[in-house]
Structure 1
Amino acid sequence: MSVAEPESSVDFFAGVLGWTVIAEPGGSFSGWVGDRLAAQIVAGDQGWAVFFGGDEVRELKVNSSVDGGRVLHGPWAPPPRSGEPCWVELSTGSPEDGYWCGELGWVSRDAAEDLVVFTSARHGDARAVAGRVLAEGQERWRPFFAVDDLEAVVARVSELDGRVLLEPATVPTGRVASIEGPHGGSCVLLEKPAGWGGAWAG
């Protein structure tokens, strides 16, 4: 995530998601859950960026790219722990599912009203890797983070000067809430996902 105030932003998300924070060279920070990297926070104004696994490192549309390194989170990684990324969803007013399927080898399927789930068989059996929802406004990939107690975490957001954009609600992915830090970086919280994608896991 790139935000104007990396240090206070990582403190906010660490307070909400329980990360252990490590200061990195150049004024950036990383948030960890145990021995797994959950996020990197750097100076900038782009918000969250999403990295997908692939063979050819390259930039993609919106706030995403392909990285050739080991995938840390996803349908073939260990199940998400509280505070870790557990899903990504593209919010867009003009869907271009063919672009994402062509770039990443995904298959799209209608899952619910205005919701498409992308699947991949990159490592064997097809599994849900990401979603796409129709929504007006800025086109962006939204990260989801696992939490054990949604109501308790949402209460901490306000205590730490963040904003609750969507109060806890049940959607096809599971029980969610949308939040934003005091310096930006909106994301979604997903309660007790069984695996990558919550209700889409398995």
Structure 2
Amino acid sequence: MSVAEPESSVDFFAGVLGWAVIAEPGGSFSGWVGDRLAAQVVAGERGWGVFFGGDGARELKVNSSVDGGRVLHGPWAPPPRSGEPCWVELFTASPEDGYWCGELGWEGRDAADEFVVFTSARHGDARAVAGRLTTTRGEGWQPYFAVDDLDAACVRVSELDGRVLLEPTTVPTGRIASIESPRGGSCVLLEKPAGWGGAWAG
């Protein structure tokens, strides 16, 4: 995540998600769940960025990239623990499913009204890897983080001066809430996902 005040932002998300925070060179910070990196927070104005596994490191559209290294989170990684990324969705008013399928070797299928689930068979059987929601409510990749108790997490958001943008509700992915840090950066919390993508993991 790239925000104007990385230290304040990482402290907020650490308070909500239970990260252990490590200060990195150059004024950036990393948030950890056990021995797994959950997020990096750096100075800037771009918001959340997403790195997808694939061949040939390169930049993609909408603040995303391909990295050829080991994938830390996703449908073939260990199940998400509380505080870890557990899903990503592209919020957009202009769907370009062909672009994402062409760049990343995905298949797209309509799953709900204005919602597409992308699947990948990169490592064998096809699994849900990301979603796309056609909406005018912002643009960009939205990360989801696993939490054990969604209601308690929303209370912590308020205690830390953040905002709950969408109160706990149930959607096809599972039970979610959307939150925002007081210093910038919004994300979605997903309660007790069974795997990457919550209900889409099955």
TM-score by structure 1 length?
Answer: 0.99
Partner of 1:65: 65
Partner of 2:81: 81
> Per-residue CA shift, 1:14-65, capped at 9, x if unaligned?
0000000000000000000000000000000111000000111000000101
Partner of 2:171: 171
Query: Map of 1:70-109 to 2, 5 A cutoff?
Result: 70-109=70-109
Structure 1 Cα separation of the partners of residues 70 and 31 of structure 2:
18
Partner of 2:13: 13
Structure 1 residues 135-144 or 12-21, which shifts more?
A: 135-144
> Per-residue CA shift, 1:80-136, capped at 9, x if unaligned?
000000000000111010000000000000111111000000000000000000110
Structure 1: 5+ residue runs without aligned partners?
none
Partner of 2:4: 4
Structure 2 Cα separation of the partners of residues 137 and 114 of structure 1:
13
Partner of 1:147: 147
SS of the aligned residue for 1:129 comes to: strand
User: Hey, which bits of structure 1, 4+ residues long, moved more than 3 A?
Assistant: none
The one-letter amino acid of 1:165's match is L
Identity %: 85
> Per-residue CA shift, 1:159-191, capped at 9, x if unaligned?
001111100000110000000101111000000
Structure 1 Cα separation of the partners of residues 47 and 181 of structure 2:
10
Structure 2 Cα separation of the partners of residues 91 and 50 of structure 1:
13
Alignment root-mean-square deviation, CA: 0.6
Structure 1 Cα separation of the partners of residues 38 and 156 of structure 2:
19
TM-score by structure 2 length?
Answer: 0.99
SS of the aligned residue for 2:185 comes to: strand
Partner of 1:32: 32
Name the count of aligned residue pairs.
202
Q: Does 1:190 find its partner at 2:190? A: yes
Q: Does 1:201 find its partner at 2:166? A: no
